[in-house]
Amino acid sequence: MKKNKITTGLLLLPLTIGMSAMWSTSSVAETAVTNVNSGHDDENVEFDSQFLYNTSNSDKIDTRRFSKGNPVMPGVYSVGIFINGSLKLNSKVNFVDNGTNTASPCLTSKLLEQLDILIDKDDAADISPEDAETTCINLTEKLPDSKVRFSSSEQRLDIIIPQIYLAKHPSGYVNPALWEEGIPAFMLSYDMNAYRSTADGESRDSAYAGLNYGANLAGWRFRARGSSNWDQDNGLSYSSQDAYIQHDITALKAQFVLGDTYTQGDAFDSINLRGLRIFSDTRMQPGSDNSYAPVIRGTANSNAKVTVRQSGAVIYEVTVPPGPFALDDINPTGYGNSLDVTIEESDGSKRTFSMPFSSVTQMLRPGNARWDIGFGKLNESSFSDSPEVAVLTGYYGINNTFTGYAGVEAMSSDYLALLTGVAMNTPVGAFAFDITHSRADIENNESLDGQSYRISYNKLLTETNTSLNVAAYRFSTQDYLSLRDAASLQDELSQDPVNKEETFKNYDRMKNQIQININQPLEYGEQNYGSLYMTGSWESYWNQSKKTSQFSVGYNNSYRWANYSISLQREYNENGDQDNRLYISLSVPLENLFAQGKRPGGFTNLNTGLSTDFKGTSQLDMSAGGYSEDNRYNYSVNTSSSMADSQNLNQIGGYGSYNSAYGPVSLSASLTDDGGRQASFGSSGGMVVHAGGITFAPGNINDTDTLALVKAKGAKGTKMSVGEGRIDSNGYAVTPYLSPYQENTVGLDISTLETDVNIVNTSTITYPRSGSVVLVNFETDEGRSVIMELQRSDNGFIPLGADVFNDKNILVGNMGQGGRAFIRGIDDKGILHVVWGSESDQSCQINYSISENPEKVNLTVMLKNIACKMTH
| Predicted pLDDT at 352 | 85
Quick one: average pLDDT of 318-335? 72
The residues, ordered by sequence, that sit 6+ positions from 726 with a Cβ below 8 Å of its Cβ are: 661, 698, 717, 718, 719, 720, 733, 752
What percentage of the chain reaches a pLDDT higher than 70?
85
Which has more confidence, 820 or 241?
Answer: 820
Sign of CA dihedral 613, 616, 617, 619: positive
Out of 64-78, 79-93, 253-267, 416-430, pick the least confident. Answer: 64-78
Out of 355-359, 680-684, 843-847, pick the least confident. Answer: 355-359
Check pLDDT > 90 for residue 526.
no
Q: Which residues pair with 429 in a beta bridge?
A: 426
| Predicted pLDDT at 126 | 64
By CB atoms closer than 10 A (0-12, 13-18, 19+), residue 376 is buried
Which has more confidence, 241 or 64?
Answer: 241
- Residue pair 472/360 in contact (Cβ under 8 Å)? The answer is yes
Provide the pLDDT confidence category of residue 31 given band limits of 50, 70 and 90: very low
| Predicted pLDDT at 36 | 42
DSSP 295: P
| CA gap 511, 482 in Å, rounded | 12
DSSP 322: S
3-state secondary structure 32-82: ECCCCCCCCCCCCCCCCHHHCECCCCCCECCCHHHCCCCCECCEEEEEEEE
| Predicted pLDDT at 356 | 62
Q: What share of the chain is helix, strand, coil (3-state, %, to 5)?
A: 10, 50, 35
- Residue pair 653/174 in contact (Cβ under 8 Å)? The answer is no
Quick one: average pLDDT of 844-869? 91
Backbone angles phi and psi of 638, in degrees to 5? -145, 155
What percentage of the chain reaches a pLDDT higher than 90?
35
| CA gap 543, 538 in Å, rounded | 17
Provide the pLDDT confidence category of residue 360 given band limits of 50, 70 and 90: low
| Predicted pLDDT at 270 | 87
Other beta carbons within 10 Å of 648:
10
Check pLDDT > 90 for residue 525.
no
Q: What H or E segment, with its residue span, contains residue 492?
A: helix 483-495
Quick one: average pLDDT of 420-449? 85
Quick one: average pLDDT of 800-810? 89
| Predicted pLDDT at 279 | 95
| Predicted pLDDT at 699 | 84
Which has more confidence, 523 or 21?
Answer: 523
For 244-294, what is each residue's pLDDT tens digit?
Answer: 999 999 999 999 999 998 888 888 988 889 999 999 998 888 754 444 456
Exposure of 766 in the CB half-sphere (CA atoms within 13 A): 27
| CA gap 307, 341 in Å, rounded | 6
| Predicted pLDDT at 426 | 77
Provide the pLDDT confidence category of residue 25 given band limits of 50, 70 and 90: very low
Quick one: average pLDDT of 341-350? 85
Out of 453-457, 689-693, 706-710, pick the least confident. Answer: 453-457
Q: Which of 129-133, 172-176, 579-583, 588-592 has the highest mean pLDDT?
A: 579-583
| Predicted pLDDT at 48 | 52
Provide the pLDDT confidence category of residue 70 given band limits of 50, 70 and 90: low
AA identity, residue 196: R
Q: Which of 326-330, 436-440, 800-804 has the highest mean pLDDT?
A: 436-440
| CA gap 681, 718 in Å, rounded | 29
Check pLDDT > 80 for residue 27.
no
| Predicted pLDDT at 644 | 79
CA-to-CA separations, 784 to 268, 447, 627, 777, 862, in angstroms, rounded: 63, 82, 36, 21, 11
Check pLDDT > 80 for residue 685.
yes
Residue 437 in 3-state DSSP? strand
Check pLDDT > 50 for residue 122.
yes
Which has more confidence, 722 or 197?
Answer: 197
- Residue pair 29/10 in contact (Cβ under 8 Å)? The answer is no
Mean pLDDT score of the chain, rounded to an integer?
Answer: 82
Check pLDDT > 70 for residue 410.
yes
| CA gap 743, 722 in Å, rounded | 15
| Predicted pLDDT at 57 | 41
Q: How far apart are the first and last CA of the chain?
A: 30
| Predicted pLDDT at 7 | 36
For 540-598, what is each residue's pLDDT tens digit?
Answer: 888 777 788 888 999 999 887 889 999 999 888 777 788 889 999 999 988 777 766 56
| Predicted pLDDT at 762 | 82
DSSP 291: P
Q: What H or E segment, with its residue span, contains residue 798?
A: none
Provide the pLDDT confidence category of residue 85 given band limits of 50, 70 and 90: confident
For 51-63, what is each residue's pLDDT tens digit?
Answer: 544 444 444 455 5
CA-to-CA separations, 242 to 208, 260, 380, in angstroms, rounded: 17, 5, 11
- Residue pair 110/133 in contact (Cβ under 8 Å)? The answer is yes
Instruction: Tell which residue, 464, 511, 463, 465, has the closest CA to residue 485.
Output: 511
The residues, ordered by sequence, that sit 6+ positions from 452 with a Cβ below 8 Å of its Cβ are: 435, 436, 438, 474, 475, 476, 477, 480, 482
The residues, ordered by sequence, that sit 6+ positions from 259 with a Cβ below 8 Å of its Cβ are: 242, 243, 244, 245, 274
Quick one: average pLDDT of 24-48? 42
| Predicted pLDDT at 77 | 85
Other beta carbons within 10 Å of 44:
10
Quick one: average pLDDT of 604-629? 89
Q: What are the E-state strand segments in 598-756?
A: 605-612, 618-627, 633-644, 647-660, 663-672, 677-690, 693-697, 707-711, 719-720, 732-735, 744-749
For 725-771, what is each residue's pLDDT tens digit?
Answer: 899 999 999 998 899 999 899 999 888 887 788 887 788 889 999 99
| CA gap 189, 226 in Å, rounded | 11
| Predicted pLDDT at 24 | 30
